[in-house]
Structure 1
């Protein structure tokens, strides 16, 4: 059991959350750089959020974040921050924009490039203040203490982690997710579910993380399908559940699903939530022998009737429930659907074996196991 729980950022939630957050900006600094991506601009969300947060606070915007952001994207955003003279960073978007925002906040107060800070507690100075407005329902990055940036030279997703990297404020406003496209709601929702399930069975779980992620699993089970069909209340429920899962996994840890998915993203640019959804049910099957009682509780939280079942059979219902959610939300189910060739599996497995999330898995994982798990999803 992990004996620590790190306090997440201040959360401002619900109707009018953005308006409340606007009043907090002057205490953080003098000028903000908004970090976001072209999709957010096209959807009108930059205009919405900047119109509220920037009404009485000077802002400029960097809008070139890419999926699975890399070192070059961070360097571009850092130059934009310097040119703007910004001392506050506002992230609008999913995990990619949030990770870039956190990264340039670190670079704003610490000399070096982002590669210098890969690992845990590799910088000394507190980053610039960060305000996060998540626009998807999956990453949980708004409440976590790290960032993931792709190094294209090594085809590895670097993890930069420190208690100093928590955002100052996370804003959960239903207006920014109420028109979320179905595909994004489905894949990011499966991302949140993966975070919660992996954290619940991870080696670093403790009673506080258990309460957060088990509650998130229950909320996701009730809201994910409706959210993927555009229900605004369900989308807001998923937004809150995603943050709950994020608060849990940053201390409990993750596991083999993320080792498989992060490697897939680094090599082939596959969307992170999509990659997690591909592997989650197969990793559940693999991990059940190591934590059957916990998987039985996951099954119950997802709405499965486990009355009268043996612990092993009840645990297996967790896999059944996840397969059903994947089918109902229409997320990709096979590597072929995301253009990943079968002959890449040995190379992917070798890299997945080195992933930082893998040691948290409740069951020891070998290279042969990783090959088998990739093959099940082929």
Structure 2
């Protein structure tokens, strides 16, 4: 079987990453639209970025991105771009802002509605250039070749994917995550761990994605707990790990955690990282029999002592490690904590069965399995 690896955007990393991006920005366009959310603006994080990048190119700001962004958000941002005449997008934020910016870039050269491009390779014109400055430590969207946008009519998260959707530049600057609240570091950090683990055991894994995912898992095991406590070096370590996990999963694929989480987010508006963190430990338990050798390597990457253990015994240590991280970071462990009623499970499971990420799971998943997984997390 032919395997693949798609080259991610140009990564600029470290203390002067924003300044390095500013030098390159005028080559991409003449006016920028900054795409961000109200929380980023309220915290002043957008100014950390625009004080540097704004000196290189004039810009306007669209700051109305919502969590689990929907079609209306994309259309509003697209109108803002048309009004201002921006020919380059700068996304500042988590996965929501990044996905909206990438979607607007597609519409900027292809026209129509974002619903026209659901699926893989549904457009032909190269999108407008996008510069991405992630401000959380989990989505990985800065290095992936797609976007996820909610269709509120169908309660489905649409996936738009193309090799043309990579950002031009992804900026990993420690300044923008230095003050990340512990709660957000926890949920987005567990999101990154989900990406790395799911991709490492996914059907589409290959040696290149394996290297990225295992490296990310090691960094997350080293830095996640300290990052939730505000340690700046660990927050930067998690920022890099998130991008590494993103590079891994966009070719290797994902699995049942994302099928469960995307469906929960579409129906109840649950933050994507929170949903992934909720389901990850239970799906690992489900998947252990399908890939014991790989889960054994995950356990070692997370720092578990597995010398002398069989693959099955070592794999079980991966489950122990992830359950412990979930407890240490304080992420939600049940859907009831998120206000999700148990009687929603049959509908959630039916919709999760149709999720595009599900076939990548290392163990086949039935409707009954999905119901059981939702019930474990209820």
Alpha-carbon deviations, 1:111-140, whole Å to 9, x = none? Answer: 210000000000010000000000000000
What is the alpha-carbon distance in structure 2 between the residues aligned to residue 269 and residue 305 of structure 1? 38
For the residues of structure 1 that align with 2:375 and 2:2, how far apart are their CA atoms? 32
Distance in 1 between the 2:134 and 2:100 partners?
Answer: 13
**Aligned equivalent of 1:248:** 248
1:267-286 equivalence runs, <5 A: 267-286=267-286
Cα distance in 1 for partners of 2:186, 2:115 equals: 32
CA contact (8 A) 1:196 1:213 kept: yes
Length-normalised TM-score, structure 1: 0.99
Instruction: Tell me how far 1:310 sits from its aligned partner.
Output: 1.7
Task: Tell me which residue corresponds to 1:140.
Answer: 140
**Unaligned 5+ residue runs, structure 2?**
none
The aligned runs of 1:1-378 (5 Å cut-off) are 3-378=3-378
Q: CA deviation at 1:2?
A: 5.5
**TM-score, normalisation: structure 2:** 0.99
In the superposition, relative to structure 1, how do residues 368 and 2 fare at CA in structure 2: closer, same or farther (>3 Å)? farther
Moved over 4 A (4+): none
Q: Which piece of structure 1 moves more, 317-326 or 307-316?
A: 307-316
Residues 62-101 of structure 1: per-residue CA shift (max 9 Å, x gap): 0000000000000000000000100000000000000000
Aligned counterparts of 2:125 and 2:302: Cα–Cα separation in 1: 42
The count of corresponding residues between Structure 1 and Structure 2 is 378
Partner secondary structure for residue 108 of structure 1? helix
Q: Retained in 2: the 8 A contact 1:2–1:251?
A: no
Helix, strand or coil at the partner of 2:136: coil
Q: CA deviation at 1:56?
A: 3.0
* Deviation per residue, 1:356-377 (Å, 9 max, x gap): 0000000100000000000000
Alpha-carbon distance in 2 for matches of 1:281, 1:56: 45
Give me the whole-angstrom Cα distance separating, in 2, the residues matched to 1:239 and 1:48.
Answer: 17
Which piece of structure 1 moves more, 304-313 or 152-161? 304-313
Answer yes or no: is the 8 Å Cα contact 2:25–2:56 preserved in 1. Answer: no
CA distance in 1, matches of 2:169, 2:307: 42
